């Protein structure tokens, strides 16, 4: 499964980057590809490109705030969760997303 994700917390510091790391670690463990854009206090990093979106099976938004640039995901299935879910249960989250994709196909 190819995933593009955005992580963003209210302060835009620690939880944003912890969520990113946990999602990457879980995706690698489960054999998925993931690119995580962070939208934090220093701006956006690891920005998701148009090609990334085109190639992705699903979009994951792990955010406790409104994110910037959501319109670029138009037409893609989107899963929204809080940052805490991405931090505490990343493998379970990705498993649920995988199941959702199977049902959609």
Catalytic positions, written as ranges: 9
- In degrees, rounded to 5, the angle at the alpha carbon of residue 51 between the alpha carbons of residues 40 and 5 is 35
3-state secondary structure of 75: coil
Burial of 84: CB neighbours in 10 Å, binned 0-12, 13-18, 19+: middle
Extended beta strands in the chain, E state: 2-8, 33-40, 43-45, 58-63, 78-81
Q: Are the beta carbons of 5 and 66 closer than 8 angstroms?
A: no
């Amino acid at each position: 499964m190819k995933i593009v994700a955005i992580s963003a917390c209210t302060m835009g510091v620690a939880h944003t980057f912890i969520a990113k790391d946990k999602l990457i670690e879980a995706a690698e463990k489960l054999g998925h590809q993931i690119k995580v854009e962070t939208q934090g206090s220093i701006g956006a990093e690891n920005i998701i490109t148009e090609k990334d979106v085109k190639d992705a099976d699903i979009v994951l938004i792990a955010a406790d705030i409104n994110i910037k640039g959501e319109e670029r995901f138009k037409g893609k299935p989107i899963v929204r969760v809080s940052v805490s879910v991405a931090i505490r249960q990343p493998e379970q989250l990705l498993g649920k997303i995988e199941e959702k994709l199977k049902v959609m196909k």
